[in-house]
Amino acid sequence: MTRILIVEDEERICSFLQKGLRSNGYAASVARLGQEALTLCSTTNFDLILLDIGLPDVNGFEVLRRLRAQKRRAAVIMLTARDAVGDRVAGLEGGADDYLTKPFSFDELLARIRLRLRPDRSEEPTIIKVGEAVLDLRTRTLSVGGKTVELSAREFALAELFFRHPRQVLSREQVLSNVWGYDYDPGSNVVDVYVGYLRKKLGKERIKAMRGMGYRLEMG
């Protein structure tokens, strides 16, 4: 059975994650402190670690550094309330495999866990280019014409969906399912709002609205 370690000091989040992971067939253990996580990792070979940055004793960056120094190769997904590009880059350059900003949907977390546990995950492309726009999945950054564009966690997830399906019309229902991970009121305009945010940053001509159908990312 796949072993996952949850390193999180908030009891409510720990309980939610542990129950959800166990219901999906994973063996989920919990550590509330960074030092506790390091001790557990010294005696148990975990396949994946969900690592919060804001721990009360040793922060997540330091826990990650020590794990990698000990040559422990478990996949690591950083969890944090921070949404700064600098924090994302620091975690990923420190050896993390992925990064999720709270709040996140459990379905999205599951998708990322499955991806990181795939035997061929090393072959997963980390750079997606569409025209002069470049999406870096490792550092979670977007650049257009060589200039970095700041994106929120939700905007990045939306951009990733479009970049993985260029020139394909994506319906609002597809976007809700892939980006938000749970059903919204069909009358909600959340997709249109976030597409609007992304169009302002990418350029309105890059994401075309298809009347009655959805949206399409253009290659140019």
Higher pLDDT, 94 or 206: 206
- 121-151 per-position pLDDT tens digit: 555 567 888 888 898 887 778 998 889 988 8
Q: Which domain holds residue 197?
A: 127-217
CATH of the domain at 77: 3.40.50.2300
Q: How many residues does the chain have?
A: 220
Same domain flag for 164 and 100: no
CATH of the domain at 206: 1.10.10.10
Do 110 and 182 touch, CB atoms closer than 8 A? no
- 69-116 per-position pLDDT tens digit: 988 889 999 988 766 666 666 667 778 888 888 878 888 888 889 888
Same domain flag for 134 and 194: yes
Number of domains in the chain: 2
pTM score of the predicted model: 0.57
How far is the C-alpha of 37 from the C-alpha of 56, rounded, in Å?
Answer: 12
Q: Which helix (H) or strand (E) holds 130?
A: strand 127-130
Listed residue (182, 185, 220, 206) closest to 20, CA to CA: 182
Neighbours of 204 (CB within 10 A): 11
The domain boundary, picked from 121, 143, 172, lies at 121
Cβ-proximal residues to 25 (8 Å cutoff; 6+ apart), any chain: 1, 2
